[in-house]
Structures are given as structure tokens and as C-alpha cells.
Amino acid sequence: MARRIGILGGTFDPIHCGHLDVADAAHAALRFDRMLVIASNIPPHRPQPFASPYHRFAMTALAVADRPGWIADDVELRVGAPSYTSGTLTQLHTRGYTPEELFFVIGADAFAEIESWFDYPALLAKAQFAVVSRPGHPVTALPARLQTGTGRGQAPSQFLIDVPTADVSSTAIRGRIAAGQSIAGMVPAAVQQHIERHGLYSAGRLHGKD
């Protein structure tokens, strides 16, 4: 039988309950055999992370530690270059995974911008895409061209999953920490403890460089 490998990627600065809700929704719908949670090294579409790769990977590992079959994967952190989804999927192919076995899990807000990603539309042929609603971005609002793919290079399948997910963002979390406010319930407890132990995102610090 073909394997089902979920892939959740992101800067994870820090990883939060919204990320995990998206992955949980995709897993519940598609029943993955394994979930790879991949922290990016140098995100090409957004400002550089505040926390170091070490801390972002550590928080990712803590967030998935109690989830059987979920693995914090450092495939992008080991490449000293911008983290492009197309390149990451190609690296996973070299591990023996086929495009039909890979399910790239993504929020509807990010998927709506996929036409601006490097190697689009060819990257759509490198995995199946599991697209999950985010607050203010239901999958039902995605343009039809993104739901079906565009010509040569389209994905084997795109799965649209319309479920509620936590209305939380890494930006909001960092802002609350800098303002001395609680982030309880916004991130897993182990991630909150790591942030507090290392003083990440506190006002006036060069975060994550220790």
C-alpha cells in the first residue's frame, strides 16, 4: 500500500496552535502514516526569523513530541540557502517518496498566494496539496484556478478541508511577549516554557542568538 506522508512547513517563529490545528485537520481528513514538520531556514517571502534556527527547531520538536508519527525534520535547516518548497519536495523524492505519497499541508491564506512561489506551477506536480481553512480565509473562497491547477504541472490532487482553526499568529505571539502579556493557550505548554526559559522575543533583546 502507498504511504501517506503529511508535510507541514513554516518559519515557526514560534510554532503555535494555529499551525497544529491545520496539521490536525489534514491528518484527520487524510489519515497520514507520518507527519513531517519542517522549520524553514531562510524564508524567501517574508522577513527573516527573530529566533535562531536552533530555537525554532527545538520549539518544533517540543510541539510534536507527544504526537505519535509526527517528526520534526531539519531538511531545510541543513541547507544554507533560501527554503523553497519545490526544492524541499525534490529532496524528499530522493528519500524514496513519490509525489502521490506526499501531502503538503498548507493554510488557505498561504495557498492563495502560491502562484507567486518559486517554480510554480511545476511544484504542484511534486506533491498532493491539503489546503485547510484559516480564519478569514475559507477554502471555499479560493479562486477556481487554484483549486483545479493550471495545465501541465498540476498536482495529482488537491484536498480542500473546511474546518475551524485557531485564530493566532506568530506575529501576535511575539507582540504579546514583547509587551509582557501572556501567551497561554496560543502555543503548546512545552513551547511556552522554552520561550520563557530562554527569554525569546522579549523586548530589547537580540532574540534567539544565545
Q: What is the pLDDT of residue 74?
A: 95
Number of H helices, E strands in the chain: 7, 6
What architecture is the 5-168 domain classified under in CATH?
Answer: 3-Layer(aba) Sandwich (3.40)
Nearest to 16 by CA among 55, 63, 76, 53: 63
Is the predicted pLDDT of residue 208 greater than 50, yes or no?
no
What pLDDT digit, counting tens, does each position of 18-67 carry?
999 999 999 999 999 999 999 998 877 777 899 999 999 999 999 999 99
Q: Please, are residues 158 and 129 in contact by the beta-carbon 8 Å criterion? A: yes
On average, the pLDDT of the chain sits at: 90
Cα gap 164→70, rounded to integer Å: 21
Residue 144, phi then psi, degrees to nearest 5: -60, -35
Identify the residue with better confidence: 112 or 148: 112
* Stretch 166-184: mean pLDDT: 96
Q: Per the structure block, which three cell numbers stand in for 24?
A: 490536525
Report domain extents, the chain: 5-168
209 falls in which pLDDT band (50, 70, 90)? very low
Is the predicted pLDDT of residue 152 greater than 50, yes or no?
no
Q: What is the pLDDT of residue 210?
A: 39
Cell 524553514 sits on residue: 40
